[in-house]
């Protein structure tokens, strides 16, 4: 009964909002990745080509992630302002990428004229695109000034969507290799890193706040309104929700008063969802419409992977509540997403096709970048 009462916490606004947001972002990232690939193929515009990971690149991701984790664990205070500046630039680019399709939709829906105003980096900019870019810059500036968790989440979600759209997996074989390596990576850094490094490296890095370069510059120049600029920032490498969501957050509260989920716990499963969604689309040869997905016979594996993600996430949160300790989310998300896809494809005798992937077309090869 005591365990059951603890699990009732998952029905509170903060956990429910976290779960719904994560599931929506995971599906939205996969759907955007599919549409982005179709846009590039239709327009034959490969200037922003996606990276299709091969085996060596997939194996390097956990290695480089571990190196980055240790770097931030030991040198975070020294590089935090540089990280903040880099994150701000990446956030502007990612948010612009996420909002751009809506500009195209508005233009076609209302027949708006949108003349070109300039060229930048070999790309033409229209008035609406310039307006969207200014909106993105304004959003990032607002985050730098206020550090508000809602703005942090917006930027984090946009980074996740942009990452999944530009980094692709060619088949389930590479996907399984990547997921299993990150499965081990997550378990080690959450459960065993304290034995080797004296502290939980993953939790320490996840809960650290970065120095705000805007506050530093304003302070050095003695600019007015300095007290309005936050000194510390939560970097948008995770989504966060106040545990007392409806009551707001009181001044002086720390990161421990927030529920958080790393972007990797959304982006990595999203790469699997994007892979199976593209596979479903190739087999169906139908146009992609969000509202037609439930009734489309071609889109099937996505409906095994997405509920699996939701189940895995709920299980991870439940384990955290019951054990009162941080949990490696990929410990639960990898089996709950990869498992159903592999099992169902094996039962339908489509596993080998998914495992090896279809041969790339000329346009597919043009989109690949040698790294």
List 186, 257, 280, 364, catalytic entry = 186
Q: In a 10 Å sphere around its CB, with 0-12 CB exposed, 13-18 middle and 19+ buried, how is residue 187 labelled?
A: middle
Instruction: Please work out, in degrees rounded to the nearest 5, the angle formed at the alpha carbon of residue 155 by the alpha carbons of 153 and 160.
Output: 90
**12, 142, 305, 309, 328 from 312: Cα distances, Å:** 18, 34, 10, 5, 11
- Kind of pairing between the strands at 167-168 and 51-52: parallel
Please confirm, yes or no, whether 265 is among the known catalytic residues.
yes
21, 240 contact by CB (below 8 A): no
d(CA 350, CA 348): 5
CA-nearest of 98, 67, 63, 68 to 86 is 68
114 is catalytic: no
From residue 191, alpha-carbon distances to 112, 188, 207, 258 in Å are 55, 5, 16, 21
Residue 277 near residue 169, CB atoms below 8 Å: no
CB-based contacts of 59, cutoff 8 Å, min separation 6? 177, 178, 181
Taking the C-alpha atoms of residue 288 and residue 261, their distance in angstroms, rounded to an integer, is 29
Which one is catalytic: 54, 257, 265, 280?
265
Start-to-end CA distance of the chain, whole Å, equals 54
Task: Return the closest-CA partner of residue 35 out of 129, 138, 105.
Answer: 105
Q: What is the largest distance, in Å, between two alpha-carbon atoms of the chain? A: 68
Q: Catalytic positions, please? A: 186, 265
């Amino acid at each position: 009964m005591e365990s059951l009462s603890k699990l009732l916490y998952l029905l509170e606004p903060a956990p429910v909002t976290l779960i719904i947001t994560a599931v929506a972002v995971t599906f939205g990232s996969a759907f955007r990745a599919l549409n982005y690939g179709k846009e590039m193929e239709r327009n034959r515009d490969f200037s922003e080509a996606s990276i299709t990971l091969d085996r060596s690149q997939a194996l390097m991701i956990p290695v480089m992630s571990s190196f980055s984790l240790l770097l931030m664990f030991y040198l975070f205070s020294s590089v935090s302002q540089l990280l903040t500046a880099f994150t701000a630039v990446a956030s502007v680019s990612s948010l612009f990428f996420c909002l751009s399709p809506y500009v195209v939709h508005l233009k076609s829906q209302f027949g708006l004229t949108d003349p070109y105003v300039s060229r930048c980096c070999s790309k033409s900019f229209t008035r609406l695109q310039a307006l969207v870019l200014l909106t993105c810059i304004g959003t990032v500036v607002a985050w730098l000034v206020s550090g508000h968790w809602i703005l942090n989440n917006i930027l984090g979600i946009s980074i996740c969507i942009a990452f999944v759209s530009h980094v692709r997996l060619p088949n389930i074989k590479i996907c399984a290799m990547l997921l299993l390596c990150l499965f081990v990576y997550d378990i080690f850094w959450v459960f065993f890193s304290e034995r080797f490094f004296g502290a939980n490296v993953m939790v320490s890095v996840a809960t650290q706040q970065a120095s705000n370069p805007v506050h530093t510059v304003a302070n050095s120049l003695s600019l007015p309104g300095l007290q309005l600029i936050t000194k510390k920032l939560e970097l948008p490498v995770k989504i966060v929700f106040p545990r007392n969501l409806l009551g707001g957050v009181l001044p002086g509260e720390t990161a421990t008063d927030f529920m958080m989920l790393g972007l990797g716990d959304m982006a990595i499963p999203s790469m699997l969802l994007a892979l199976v969604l593209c596979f479903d689309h190739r087999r169906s040869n139908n146009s992609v419409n969000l509202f037609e997905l439930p009734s489309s016979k071609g889109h099937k594996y996505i409906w095994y992977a997405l509920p699996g993600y939701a189940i895995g996430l709920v299980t991870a949160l439940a384990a955290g509540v019951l054990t009162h300790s941080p949990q490696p989310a990929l410990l639960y998300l990898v089996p709950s997403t990869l498992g159903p896809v592999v099992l169902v494809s094996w039962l339908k005798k489509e596993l080998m096709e998914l495992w090896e992937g279809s041969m790339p077309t000329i346009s597919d090869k043009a989109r690949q970048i040698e790294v």
